[in-house]
Amino acid sequence: MRFYVTLILFSAGLEIFAQKENEYKLPGYKLGYDTGYVTSFRDNFIVTLVNETKFSRVNASFLTPSGNYVLNYKTNDLNTWGIGLDYKWFTFEYTTKMPWYQPDPTYGDVENSGIGFGLTMRRFSFRYFYESYKGYYLENTDEWIREARIAAPINYYIRPDIYTRMNYLKFNYVFNNKHFSNNAAIWQLERQEKFAGSFVTGLSYIYNTFKADSSIIPYGLDTFPNASNTFFAINSIGANLGYVLNLPFGKKKKWFITAALIPGFSYQYGRLDIEDVGGFRNNSLLGFQSEFRFGIGYNGDLWYIGSTARSYQNLNNLLGDAPFVINNSFGRFYIGYRFNEIKHENKWLKKVGL
């Protein structure tokens, strides 16, 4: 964290001492915003260095007459570095794990694959991502099997067989689209010049899969029911309503805080397998999903830098007394520079707006 704060201050210092105006920035009214609220950098060729950390959580709850109990499983953290390129409407970003990065073996091994894409406009935003993880450890090992951990000895109860997938598709409409900039909040392709917030609403589709070789309940615990699910595949069709905001601050309003909270309810249906019992289908379930985002940074004319935390969670209401929450979280640090517009005479690129 100290490293990231130092880089943010360093980048802001570069902007201050450079004293160079970005001749390609556009006033927001040319893109449909009210005058004075937004500045656009869509005509700059933008290069961004990205560092992303991500992980997944599975929170399995058991609601029993004698009390409510939770097993909190989490993957090892994954850290990646990459590059982003932005120009006009085109956005591309690629990250990968570096050879020198070695996850802490205390938390077990983790396998991951993921992909995502989206479209962010003034009124609408669309996003899809896919994430799969294999290999979890029990975060609250001490709470449930402290004696076994000390006797073994082990640091955490490791479950390399637990496998999850999340397909997440969402479409949102921004009500205050004359003042609030989604592109300033998410990608820094624009800059919010005055405080603005907006209610957003939309639809989402989530497909969650969970699989384990055996019950996720550690062997020998009689606190929990005798059986637990070893597989489920749940479809969630939801409606969302939330609030987003951008808060610029500082003498020149180039520092910013951005935040979003977008919860929703969903209709769920799918298939469930219970250890020693078998499989069955479950329909007409009421689920819950939410998206959370918080970021802080500096968005100058040429340099920009910041850090953003994002979290997507889906409550899979498999059985009335055993809800599962699957959460995918991302931490993104970025530093970028806006170069001049690309001069070219290619008629095909001009036809598609590049």
- DSSP of 63-114: EETTEEEEEEEEPPPEEEEEEEEEETTEEEEEEE--TT----GGG---EEEE
In degrees and rounded to multiples of 5, residue 34 shows phi and psi of -70, 150
Token pair, residue 96, equals: 């990968």
Whether residue 92 contacts residue 115, with contact meaning beta carbons closer than 8 Å, is answered with no
Q: How many domains does the chain have?
A: 1
Two structure tokens written together for 244: 């987003």
pLDDT at 4: 52
Contact indicator for 216, 73 with CB cutoff of 8 Å = yes
The reported pLDDT for the residue numbered 17 is: 45
- Tens-binned pLDDT, residue by residue, of the chain (354 aa): 555 555 555 555 555 544 466 667 888 888 999 989 999 998 888 999 999 999 999 998 877 777 778 899 999 999 999 998 888 777 888 888 888 888 888 899 999 988 888 888 899 999 999 999 999 999 988 888 876 565 566 788 899 999 999 999 999 999 999 999 999 998 888 999 999 999 999 999 999 999 998 888 887 676 666 556 788 888 999 999 999 999 999 988 999 999 999 999 999 988 887 766 666 777 767 889 999 999 999 999 999 999 999 999 998 876 666 788 999 999 999 999 999 877 777 777 777 666
- The closest of 64, 204, 16, 59 to 125, measured between CA atoms, is 204
φ, ψ at 333 (rounded to 5°): -110, 140
Joined tokens for residue 336: 């970028």
pTM of the model: 0.86
pLDDT of residue 107: 92
DSSP-assigned letters across all residues of 222-279: -SS-S--EEEEEEEEEEEEEEEEEEEEESTTS-EEEEEEEEEEEEEEEEEEEETTTEE
Provide the residue range defining the domain that includes 320.
2-351
Yes or no: say if 172 and 262 are a contact pair by the CB < 8 Å rule. yes
